[in-house]
Homo-oligomer: A and B are copies of this chain.
């Protein structure tokens, strides 16, 4: 029983990983249940044994990537340096996810399009966990006198919006390199707190 359910959970995870790969290859909109099932050598009907519906599957893909991002951001925060250094690292980290895991990380941006109304609260919650990491570095930085006193929530929204937007226009074969871009973003965005 415990055993069976672990096995089930493992398969669920394998499906999620597979779906993430497909989504990052084909794009969110063009990923079908058929494709996901086929990649797992099963029929699409079986997927509904593991996931209530497509959006549930998508949600779990999103969640997994978001969990990884949260971990990475915690690292970025913990590492030594001023609050400016911490925030700079976090900006780098976020842009990296936004660009390199576009299709899955992406869903943060417009969850209404990716998920059903009933699932929204659950997403928003995890998204908030992520957001709080930025609130923390900003408000601690303000407390330490390193950043200018500001409306933390608004600052956070400006930061996230600016960074998420990158993935709508950045192209790997474009004029500017990703590292250069990250530096510029960090430089400019830190001005918000000066």
Report A's interface with B, CB cutoff 8 A: 27-29, 106, 109-110, 112-113, 150-151, 154-155, 157-166, 168-169, 181, 184-185, 188-189, 191-192, 194
Contact = CB atoms under 8 A, between A and B. Distances in A.
Summarize A's interface: helix, strand, loop or mixed. Answer: helix
A158 B188 contact: yes
Contacts of A192: 188-189, 191-192
B168 A165 contact: no
Nearest to A106: B110
A155 B155 CA distance: 16
B109 A109 contact: yes
B28 A154 contact: no
A158 B154 contact: no
Contacts of A154: 181, 184-185, 188
A179 to B, nearest CB: 14
A110 B109 contact: yes
Given A165-B164, A192-B191, A151 B184 contact: yes
A192 B186 CA distance: 11
Contacts of A106: 110
A188 B28 contact: no
A95 to B, nearest CB: 11
Contact of A166 (B110, B159, B161, B166): B161
Nearest to A28: B113
A168 to B, nearest CB: 6
18 contacts: A27-B112, A28-B113, A29-B112, A29-B113, A106-B110, A109-B110, A109-B165, A110-B113, A154-B181, A154-B185, A157-B162, A159-B162, A160-B165, A161-B163, A161-B164, A161-B165, A161-B168, A164-B165
